[in-house]
Amino acid sequence: MQLTDKVAIVTGAASGIGRATAELFAELGASVVLADWNREAGEQAAEGIRAKGRQAIYCFADLAQEQDVEEMVRAAVGCYGKLNILVNNAAVQILATLTQTSAQDWERMQSVNLRGVFFASKFAIPEMVRAGGGSIVNMSSALGLVGDPDLAAYGAFKGGIIALTKATAVGYGPQGVRVNCICPGDVNTPMVQDYFNNAPDPESFRNEINSKYALRRIAEPGEIAQVAAFLASEASSFMTGSVVVVDGGLTSKCY
């Protein structure tokens, strides 16, 4: 799983899975563009990579804004000369049942979680084709495969990512662009911690969630980053259109 001389964009790279992925890609030899709307955290993450002697820059991007996404891709190519890898990781999660979901919340999640993947892929693919091929890794979710009534809209858009992954893989495979997606279960990120914190007793709720997993714990961001690195690298050279479930056995259970 070497990424030497590769150029990668990772969205939502200021924290959680995105940050762990950007750090791992840099360790594996890639030049990394860390894209995020959080300027301070994004700059800190990029500086942390550079402090280790690796190549990284931060780029502000609101994935809901087409112009921001286009400029993100342009910045990567302008700085490093090409683009080989895109990790569509940025996401927004709003806890609500279907009937509790407002039109504004629906639009906010759709604009980042699904439309943002569309925008990033749209602008990245031509650059990957020019570079002789590339790899897109989309971050879906176990909730794109199974239902959680308290995250109805979030699950809908994560399911959309799976469909978009397959269509893009079929459409651009002949041009050397591979597209795969990862479906993690719960991961120990700030977004999931916010989910736990909504419970009356967050620690008890965390323990309850852990008990649902065959491994009796949720994932760490670095564990998902390892799978992203595999899919981005030539180690997965004959994989495209694949849905890789990384959920500690969560969706393997019937009851």
Query: What's the CATH architecture for 7-184+222-245?
Result: 3-Layer(aba) Sandwich (3.40)
Q: 17-28: b or e for each residue (b if 16 or more CB lie within 10 Å)?
A: bbbbbbbbbbeb
Q: What is the pLDDT of residue 252?
A: 95
Q: Rounded distance, CA 96 to CA 155, Å? A: 11
Give the rounded percent of residues in the chain with a pLDDT score beyond 90.
94
Q: What is the pLDDT of residue 192?
A: 87
Q: What is the pLDDT of residue 195?
A: 82
Taking only the tens place, the pLDDT of each residue in 207-221 is 999 999 999 999 999
Q: Phi-psi bin for 53: left (phi > 0), alpha (psi -120 to 50), beta? A: left
Residue 55 class from Cβ within 10 Å (0-12 exposed, 13-18 middle, 19+ buried)? middle
Q: Rounded distance, CA 31 to CA 49, Å? A: 10
Edge-to-edge strand list for the sheet holding 31-36: 56-60, 31-36, 7-11, 85-88, 134-139, 177-184, 243-246
Taking only the tens place, the pLDDT of each residue in 37-89 is 999 999 999 999 999 999 999 999 999 999 999 999 999 999 999 999 999 99
Q: Rounded distance, CA 93 to CA 106, Å? A: 10
At 45, list the tokens.
């993450």
Confidence band, pLDDT 50/70/90 cuts, at residue 255: confident
What is the rounded average pLDDT of the residues 9-18? 97
Taking only the tens place, the pLDDT of each residue in 128-137 is 999 999 999 9
* Contact present, 142 and 247 (Cβ < 8 Å): yes
Q: What is the pLDDT of residue 87?
A: 98
Q: What is the pLDDT of residue 62?
A: 97
Q: Examine the pLDDT at 1 and tell me if it is beyond 90.
A: no
Q: Rounded distance, CA 151 to CA 93, Å? A: 8
> Catalytic residues, which ones?
154
Give the three-state DSSP class for 65: coil
Taking only the tens place, the pLDDT of each residue in 150-195 is 999 999 999 999 999 999 999 999 999 999 999 999 999 988 888 8
Q: What is the mean pLDDT of the chain?
A: 97
Provide the residue ranges of all domains of the chain, joining segments of one domain with +: 7-184+222-245, 187-218
Distance from the Cα of residue 137 to its chain's centroid: 7
CB proximity list for 158: less than 8 A, separation 6 or greater: 113, 140, 141, 143, 144, 183
Give the rounded percent of residues in the chain with a pLDDT score beyond 70.
100
Q: What is the pLDDT of residue 138?
A: 98
- Please report where in the chains the tokens 């602008």 appear, as a residue: 123
* Contact present, 158 and 141 (Cβ < 8 Å): yes
Residue in 177, 64, 67 with CA at minimum distance from that of residue 126: 177
